Structure 1
Amino acid sequence: MSIPINPNTNQPIDNHRPSRKQREQHPNAKLSQQQVSEIRRLAAEGVNRKSLVVRFGVSKSTIGAIIKGNAWRG
């Protein structure tokens, strides 16, 4: 059985991964896609994680996962 490939990205299609809209609308979601983009931008500009934790009200590990791309991929 072959895994379907997305023709736009040449990456395997993961049918179990929620869309961005689904992630934002999840009852436990604390951040929007816009906030995640801002976290990544601010981190790239050198803002420290503790400041991001205070500003966005999420844990240091969540900030780290967002910056590393382990959370809010895509």
Structure 2
Amino acid sequence: MPKRILQGVVTSDKNDQTITVLVERRFTHPVLKKTIRKTKKYRAHDEGNAFKVGDAVRIQECAPKSKTKRWEVLSPQAE
């Protein structure tokens, strides 16, 4: 089974080797036909503390690294 890859923006880098990434998804409401934005925060492993608040990053699923971390940073997002 392939690992999911998401892209988002770093909202926190206060913890050691951990960043919080805000991922936004857009979809059309099935009844109202209106575009809706939903956001979710993921905690991702950042080995070298390389990313700061505001950076656009790509994260990938991985084996659990801690109680809350199940994602790791792949690379900065190409813009």
Larger strand fraction of residues = 2
Larger Cα-atom Rg: 1
TM-score past 0.5 threshold: no
TM-score (normalised: structure 1): 0.24
Where relative contact order (Cα < 8 A, 6+ residues apart) is larger, the structure is: 2
